[in-house]
Structure 1
Amino acid sequence: MTDFLLELRSEEIPARMQAGARAELEKLFRAQLSSAGLETGELTVWSTPRRLALIAKDLPEATAAVSEELKGPRSSAPPQALEGFLRKTGLRQDQLEDRDGVWFAVIDKPGRATAEVLAEAIPAIVRGFAWPKSMRWGKESASSESLRWVRPLSGIVAIFGDELVPCEIGGIASGFATRGHRFHCPGEITIGSAADYAEKLRACHVIVDHEERQAIIRDGAAKAAADAGLSLVEDEGLVIENAGLTEWPVPLLGRFDEAFLEVPPEVIQLTARVNQKYFVVNGADGKLANGFVCTANIDAKDGGAEIVAGNRKVLAARLSDARFFWEQDQKKTLAQHAEKLANITFHEKLGTVADKVERVAKLARWLVEQNIVAPAKAGAAGGLRSDEGEASLAAPAFAGATAELADQAELAARLAKADLVTEMVGEFPELQGLMGGYYARAEGLPDAVADAIRDHYKPVGQGDDVPTAPVTVAVALADKLDTLGAFWAIDEKPTGSKDPFALRRAAISVQALILTNELRLGLISVLDKVTRAGGVAMKNALDAVVVRKMQAVAADGISSTAATGLVGVGLKKFGNYSEQFDARAHDLLDFFADRLKVQQREAGVRHDLIDAVFALGGEDDLVRLLARVKALQAFMAAEDGTNLLAGYKRAANILKQADISVAPAKAGAAGDRAPNTTAPAFAGATDVDRALLAALDTAEPAASAAVVDERFTDAMAALASLRAPIDAFFDGVMVNDPDEAVRAYRLGLLSRFTGAVHGVADFSKIEG
């Protein structure tokens, strides 16, 4: 068994492409050898800015001989069919085997030398490599058939054992020679085998193992900061990027002017990270300090003093720009910045960002005024709602707090998008929201308003912090609900894997806000409100298009016929407008149900139980729904739940065969085509019948009352009391009794049983 080394050397490979390139090289190598009948075992793939390297351990010296059997035409087939088969196999007729009137060809393929397989595989790998971006170079680049690579390919090392694997691609022939560090060891290095590859490069200031370089940067940057009494702000993405930019990494600590610390720390960190690939550091107080760690690619004789000085100058220029943006943006209030939002299109069918802001502001205020998002009472344990019931909500002090919260929520919503037109966010879009919060605080706006502006995009995804401050919750919820309602109104819903407006993420964020803060709202009424607002926005945008078209007609003197055609184009672009959005609101609720199942899957909540509660209809309070689902899940995990489900399914099947609807029944009703089972006596009733009836008389109202009071565990306990009577019923009587009256009575009992169960959840949706 022999080791194989492949190195593909080129000009600098972008750091962001190196991880993908390593995976691609391994995939292509395995595929090429597998197609030749060679199984690959342990593979090691490394990358530096100037090379991709692969070492394959313990490859056999040759492939095994194989015998391939091909089925041909029948021996009675026309001669032309046989001739074609012979051409395909390259055999003569006397070399074929006749098996039960069918020709078979057995082709023995001898083994091939592994070196020969590798010589063919390397060019195929290079030409088949999928880079996100690639280029052609040299005179040959005039042809579209010329070699493409991420950067000009300059060398190939291919050694099997200690023998060269000869191959050539794009005029570049394989050899034993590679090159070391561009500055420390620019000459050629002769590689003897895979065994000495990494150490020979190390001796020439190239650490070929990317993970080793990452560890050097991670540990070295932390040590450089600690030696100066500072702590490194960890950034694993920056570690990986710096490792992809260097072959001999040397972390160095530098300082910048303390005056720049007046700029928000996130701006300094982003400037250092994005523009210069520097780490930032914190002082002993945990706040951002005037230090940075850069990663040099050489071992400088002066210890890196000149490198640090040069990097300090470059960073100072970048920070000067950031400070200029910071100062310029503060020359206007957020309200003045917000005026420019009228010039930014949110969506062609929904108008401008200013239009969206107006909708969000009204919705945020409404959420507060409806006590959906309400202030906690002074001294309360926490949360967004009072814990003393509706009477406390009407108290004068609390009413005043609600009015103040409504004002703050509306103000924050009107200013939340203003930073989109600032210089700082124009330079760093990642800072939207965050900069608005800083500008609001610098302007002297209340902290609650500044915090809401800063955090109204949260939660951005799974695992992100969920706001709990009332003003922030109101604005964040209004912003996301408006987005969902508006895009549902114009029928721009996610399809398959496509979700260009991130509506799935918005729905999950809305649910996180509701569940984390235990907001009690009926989603249907809210979704109806936002879809209708979206419909009005679409109508207004359409009206604006028509007005612009007509103005163009008047200005250009176009005929009325042509004008009608132009307006028609605008109408077609928007589709048919309708003011009936109720169906869209219910469709959006179904979308929420799907997202809830996704969101709760990680928490271990069964999707079928969510369906079972949603299927009842009218349950659009997510807090109540999830409490109901969790109580149901606990019930179904117990023996009583499992047995009751089996009894329900048996009852439902019997009712289905009798053509009786399995649906919730009103108290005292027996169900379709059945007598009143609450009658005090029935001549054909047995003790088993009466026991089930008595259990239903007790359990049904108890479960209903518990559901109304949101005591869902008690509701499940009430259902559990039906388990023994229903089991005894099925064991002790024949439902389809020959006596029609008895049969109808017992079907009525089953109908009432399923109705009682349906009062808690639709058991037909439960799996098992």
Structure 2
Amino acid sequence: MSDLLIELFSEEIPARMQRRAAADLQRLVTDGLVEAGLTYAGAVAHATPRRLALSVHGLTDESPTTTEERRGPKVSAPDTAIDGFLRGAGVAREDLEVRADKKGEVYIARITTPGRPAAAIVAEVLERTIRDFPWPKSMRWGNGTLRWVRPLRRILCLLTREDGSEIVPLKVDGIASGNVTEGHRFMAPGPITVSSFDDYEAKLARAHVVLSSETRADTIWQDASNQAFAAGLEVVEDAGLLAEVAGLVEWPVVLMGRIGDAFLDLPPEVLQTSMREHQKFFSVRDKTGRITHFITVANRATADDGATILAGNDRVLSARLADAVFFWENDLRVAKAGGEDWAAPWLAKLADVTFHAKLGSQAERIDRIAALAREIAPSVGADPDRAERAARLAKADLSSEMVYEFPELQGLMGRYYAEAAGEPAEVAATAEEHYSPLGPSDDVPTAPVSVAVALADKLDTLAGFWAIDERPTGSKDPYALRRAGLGVIRLILDNRLQFPLDPVFKTAFAANGHSATWAGADGEPDAAIAAPLLLEEFLHDRLKQHLKSEGIRHDVIDACLTGERTDDLTDLVARARALNAMIQTEDGANLLQGYKRAKNILDQAQAQDGVEYSYGGDAKLAETDEERALFAALAEARPRIDAAMASEDYTAAMSALACLRAPIDAFFEAVQVNAENQITRRNRLNLLSEIVTMGTKIADLSRIEG
């Protein structure tokens, strides 16, 4: 057994690419080794700004010798066919075996592939990995042909055994492999010779390189937290920034500085965003939540304990924050100077901003959202006038100077400006909240006005792109329509809203220049106007994905997509949850089988007879106790199910339906439906029709698999 160490040493790799690159190196190398017949016990990949490293331990020393049989042409085949087979198999004619099969005698070649030493396989796999490495962006340099993210300087490739180590020989674009790496660019420059992974990691540490990105991140966070705590402060958590900064340094040195007093009145989100985006600084707040300090991470220790580095960072930060103060003050003047029409200058600018070439400007879109929010408002408990007002102001900050500089602050700055202009709290909050939820873990707005505008925003987006036939296909979703669909679902379900979406769809499609009707003259969906139906189907598909984590099966949702309320998502989910629970019980599972049996017999009889058995059976014509018992059970269950459905108590409806399990089982065990007496047969088929009709009030149980 051997241990393999690989290091690809280059100029600085962008931090955002390092984690994926380390995973790709591990995957490509280990997959290649296994495909070539080697096995290994484990593998670990690492990344720093200047290196990708891979350690594979427990690697077999050579691939096994293998023998395979390859079937060739018939013995009577032409010589040209046999010669072609010999060339492909790499054997001579005298090495072939003749074997009889059902088609006659054929040639069989036994091909033996000798094992290969690990070093040869590693060299082959690593060269292919380097040449075909899937960097998002890559470059060429000098006169070479190799493409790498940044100029590749060294290839380290070692196989280590108990008796020592050997360099795996290979050369890629003039770069020969070796056993040499380098330490920190400034604190320990120069070559370092290594003999194993443990030796490699230890010598890098002495050369001021922390190999593990997780260790670098932990060091940064602990040092930052300790410095802040010592000053009575707290570092604002930012996992994304921590991972990025850990990819910018090989020897992290944490320094804390103070933000100038002239900038402390900026909103904390502005301070945090400016420092994160431009300087990669962590924000530090005091006990009141006010951001007063920053944390920067240097890539080296200095004789003055970082004072020079900190002073330089402070100068750059002050210049950035001075710009932010300028934007903030200019925007506040607009918000405070316009009275009731304070947003008019910004909204006027949005008339010249295209939302989409086929869907008009941002100003036109705001008009659509405002009208839709007014329509939705009563269904979500919001005041229509206030919802329309909030919708017209929600995107005004897109024209502000601050959002132009920091687009990620859209909505948040709108709330600040609306508050400064004296708007009601719920109107101001809507500017920030109407974009939510942005993902499956994002908070969902609960304030009625925010909910109305958030729904209007997302439904307008969906209707608009559906109307112009720009829908998600496969993995492509350039307009984030799946996210918008999930947002609609979560807004409705999390707030337990119950209202039909069809009228809202029609309004949204009509506003986007699409026919508000649902079907052609013959009552069937017309190809030119079927987009609303396709959108509803899209939302149902997203709903299935959303409910997957609850354990609700797709076929259960499909079964509930019956009746006239499939556009009421809350009602649909309530029925699906109740049905899902029922079919997991013994009674429910058996009832499902009885229902399917009844429907299959009924469908076959109707197809054969050319008539519909849907008029209800007559208990007076029952001939057996089992028939009479089923008639009685249906008569008892019918009002219970109807009452439960009317009150939307679907658990009670499912319970009443499950009570039919025993009489249905008994009926099928004792009664022959297709009796010779036609009156009896028709009566029994009409009885089955009652079972199917009663079940279909809740769901189409025939859609449930199993």
TM-score (norm 1): 0.84
Which among 529, 534, 537 is matched to residue 512 of structure 2? 534
- Tell me which residue corresponds to 1:413: 391
8 A contact 1:72–1:104 mirrored in 2 = yes
Q: Distance in 1 between matches of 2:116 and 2:615?
A: 85
Which among 270, 274, 279 is matched to residue 276 of structure 1? 279
Distance 1:281-1:628 versus aligned 2 partners, 3 A rule: same
Q: Distance in 1 between matches of 2:662 and 2:67?
A: 68
172-181 vs 267-276, which moves further: 172-181
8 A contact 2:614–2:690 mirrored in 1 = no
Is structure 2 residue 21 aligned with structure 1 residue 21? yes
Is structure 2 residue 269 aligned with structure 1 residue 322? no
- Tell me which residue corresponds to 2:168: 165
Is structure 2 residue 351 aligned with structure 1 residue 373? no
- Tell me which residue corresponds to 2:128: 124
TM-fit CA distance, 1:493? 2.5
How large is the Cα RMSD of the aligned pairs?
2.5
- Tell me which residue corresponds to 1:605: 552
8 A contact 1:337–1:418 mirrored in 2 = yes
TM-fit CA distance, 1:580? 10
- The one-letter code matched in structure 1 to 2:381 is A
Which among 616, 619, 626 is matched to residue 563 of structure 2? 616
Which among 240, 243, 247 is matched to residue 243 of structure 2? 240
Distance 1:66-1:457 versus aligned 2 partners, 3 A rule: same
Q: Distance in 2 between matches of 1:721 and 1:124?
A: 66
Q: Distance in 1 between matches of 2:678 and 2:92?
A: 83
Matches within 5 A, 1:140-159: 140-141=143-144, 146-159=145-158
Distance 1:294-1:722 versus aligned 2 partners, 3 A rule: same
- The one-letter code matched in structure 2 to 1:501 is Y
Distance 1:647-1:75 versus aligned 2 partners, 3 A rule: closer
- Tell me which residue corresponds to 1:308: 310
Q: Distance in 2 between matches of 1:277 and 1:582?
A: 50
- The one-letter code matched in structure 1 to 2:223 is G
Q: Distance in 2 between matches of 1:579 and 1:741?
A: 44
Other structure's SS at 1:644 match: helix
- Tell me which residue corresponds to 1:727: 665
Q: Distance in 1 between matches of 2:190 and 2:260?
A: 41
Q: Distance in 2 between matches of 1:316 and 1:152?
A: 34
Which among 282, 298, 301 is matched to residue 299 of structure 1? 301
TM-fit CA distance, 1:90? 4.7
Q: Distance in 2 between matches of 1:477 and 1:177?
A: 60
Q: Distance in 2 between matches of 1:291 and 1:586?
A: 54
Which 5+ residue runs of structure 2 have no aligned equivalent?
A: 335-341, 517-524
- Tell me which residue corresponds to 2:575: 628
8 A contact 2:254–2:298 mirrored in 1 = yes
**What does the per-residue CA deviation read over 1:520-543, in whole Å, with 9 as the maximum and x for residues that have no partner?**
2111122122122222699xxxxx
Q: Distance in 2 between matches of 1:661 and 1:530?
A: 46
Q: Distance in 2 between matches of 1:91 and 1:583?
A: 63
Other structure's SS at 2:380 match: coil
- Tell me which residue corresponds to 1:455: 433
Q: Distance in 2 between matches of 1:334 and 1:365?
A: 19
Matches within 5 A, 1:311-460: 311-332=313-334, 333-368=342-377, 371-374=378-381, 405-460=383-438
TM-fit CA distance, 1:704? 1.4
- Tell me which residue corresponds to 2:36: 36
Q: Distance in 2 between matches of 1:452 and 1:661?
A: 61
Matches within 5 A, 1:32-181: 32-100=32-100, 101-138=105-142, 140-141=143-144, 146-161=145-160, 162-181=165-184
Other structure's SS at 1:760 match: coil
Q: Distance in 2 between matches of 1:47 and 1:317?
A: 33
- Tell me which residue corresponds to 1:11: 11
Distance 1:323-1:82 versus aligned 2 partners, 3 A rule: same
Other structure's SS at 2:52 match: strand
Which among 677, 691, 700 is matched to residue 753 of structure 1? 691
TM-fit CA distance, 1:28? 2.1
Q: Distance in 2 between matches of 1:73 and 1:676?
A: 69
Distance 1:292-1:521 versus aligned 2 partners, 3 A rule: same
8 A contact 1:280–1:288 mirrored in 2 = no
Distance 1:108-1:725 versus aligned 2 partners, 3 A rule: closer
Distance 1:316-1:659 versus aligned 2 partners, 3 A rule: same
TM-fit CA distance, 1:652? 0.8
Distance 1:410-1:373 versus aligned 2 partners, 3 A rule: same
TM-fit CA distance, 1:49? 0.9
Other structure's SS at 1:331 match: helix
**What does the per-residue CA deviation read over 1:554-606, in whole Å, with 9 as the maximum and x for residues that have no partner?**
xxxxxxxxxxxxxxxxxxxxxxxx99987433332222222211111112223
- The one-letter code matched in structure 1 to 2:263 is F
- Tell me which residue corresponds to 1:467: 445
Is structure 2 residue 252 aligned with structure 1 residue 249? yes
Other structure's SS at 1:522 match: coil
8 A contact 2:60–2:118 mirrored in 1 = yes
TM-score (norm 2): 0.91
**What does the per-residue CA deviation read over 1:432-463, in whole Å, with 9 as the maximum and x for residues that have no partner?**
11111111111221111110111111111112
8 A contact 2:376–2:452 mirrored in 1 = yes
**What does the per-residue CA deviation read over 1:139-187, in whole Å, with 9 as the maximum and x for residues that have no partner?**
x15xxxx111111111122222222222222222222322211111112
Other structure's SS at 2:606 match: coil
Q: Distance in 2 between matches of 1:475 and 1:66?
A: 67
- Tell me which residue corresponds to 2:601: 654
Matches within 5 A, 1:531-680: 531-535=509-513, 583-659=530-606, 672-673=612-613, 677-678=617-618
Other structure's SS at 1:293 match: strand
Which 5+ residue runs of structure 1 have no aligned equivalent?
A: 376-404, 539-577, 663-670
Q: Distance in 1 between matches of 2:593 and 2:629?
A: 19
- Tell me which residue corresponds to 1:226: 229
587-596 vs 470-479, which moves further: 587-596
8 A contact 1:180–1:187 mirrored in 2 = yes
Other structure's SS at 1:134 match: coil
Q: Distance in 2 between matches of 1:688 and 1:632?
A: 27
Q: Distance in 2 between matches of 1:605 and 1:674?
A: 32
8 A contact 2:514–2:529 mirrored in 1 = no
434-443 vs 62-71, which moves further: 62-71
**What does the per-residue CA deviation read over 1:725-744, in whole Å, with 9 as the maximum and x for residues that have no partner?**
32332233322121111111
TM-fit CA distance, 1:610? 2.0
TM-fit CA distance, 1:489? 2.4
Q: Distance in 2 between matches of 1:84 and 1:582?
A: 59
**What does the per-residue CA deviation read over 1:490-545, in whole Å, with 9 as the maximum and x for residues that have no partner?**
2323233322222222122112111222222111122122122222699xxxxxxx
TM-fit CA distance, 1:635? 2.5
8 A contact 1:489–1:532 mirrored in 2 = no
Q: Distance in 1 between matches of 2:295 and 2:306?
A: 12
8 A contact 2:565–2:571 mirrored in 1 = no
TM-fit CA distance, 1:224? 1.7
- The one-letter code matched in structure 2 to 1:318 is R
TM-fit CA distance, 1:278? 0.9
**What does the per-residue CA deviation read over 1:309-364, in whole Å, with 9 as the maximum and x for residues that have no partner?**
11111111111111111122223232320111111122222211111111111111
- Tell me which residue corresponds to 2:338: none
8 A contact 1:528–1:582 mirrored in 2 = no
Distance 1:584-1:420 versus aligned 2 partners, 3 A rule: same
Is structure 2 residue 213 aligned with structure 1 residue 210? yes
8 A contact 2:155–2:175 mirrored in 1 = yes
Aligned residues: 682
Is structure 2 residue 491 aligned with structure 1 residue 513? yes
8 A contact 2:618–2:683 mirrored in 1 = no
- Tell me which residue corresponds to 1:706: 644
8 A contact 2:271–2:291 mirrored in 1 = no
Q: Distance in 1 between matches of 2:177 and 2:530?
A: 67
TM-fit CA distance, 1:89? 4.5
8 A contact 1:269–1:280 mirrored in 2 = yes
